[in-house]
Chain A
Amino acid sequence: MRYHRKFVSIALVLVLLSLTACGPNDVSKVKKKVADAAAILNTAAKSNRSLYQSGAYGTTGSPEAIAKRAKVATVIHQGNEYLSLAVERAANLTASDLPAGKTDVVKLLQQAVTVLNSLNIDNENIQLVIKTAVAAINSAVTLTLAIKGA
């Protein structure tokens, strides 16, 4: 009976530890979410170039098309700089640092989203690309926040 109680107590402690501890898996998850966000923005940058080359911004080579491509590229570039900081923060992330690191990463991803949301351009295709990138980065934010150790 005494052993049974001891076993239950140890099991309870282990369960509590597993619920509250920040294991190496949680750190890996945050790093993967940041990498996912980097991949999404990379796709957006490539889509911007493809849309310009396909003539979706106007005649390729015309000042109007170049201006639209540059406007979108500027916004993606600014968002990417926040993402670059998020990648470096995630690179130095450790299990003991997870709650603070997660907050830093989420803030940087949200700043990238704010920049991307500031784009105002009269082209439905690139608007859709940017909206998709924003939705995907927001999803990465939500999933990062859901990782235990907050």
Chain B
Amino acid sequence: MAATLIGIVSAINTLTPLATELINQLRQSGETDEQVIARARALVAETREITQEDMTDNP
């Protein structure tokens, strides 16, 4: 019984990230060109913000 439960929990732990990734892929596959570019611009802006902070001496 315990082994079965451990197996189920383990399977859920393994499948959840895969399911999340699949949902993300499906969501992105339905994007319009404008949405794709908006997402890319947001990613570039976030990366710029992170790197600008991390280039300073701020601990």
Q: Which residues of B contact A31 (CB under 8 A)?
A: 33, 36-37, 40
Q: Contacts A49-B50, A73-B50, A80-B48 known; A35 to B55 CB distance under 8 Å?
A: no
Q: Does B46 contact A (CB under 8 A)?
A: yes
A70 x B56 contact (CB < 8 A): yes
Question: In the complex, which residues of chain A have a beta carbon less than 8 angstroms from the beta carbon of B47?
Answer: 38, 41-42, 45, 76-77, 80, 83
What secondary structure prevails in chain B residues at the interface with A? helix
Is the C-beta of B44 less than 8 angstroms from some C-beta in chain A? yes
* In the complex, the 3 A-B pairs of residues with the closest C-beta atoms, listed nearest first: A73-B54, A77-B51, A35-B40
Interface, chain B (partner A; CB < 8 A): 28, 33, 36-37, 39-41, 43-44, 46-48, 50-59
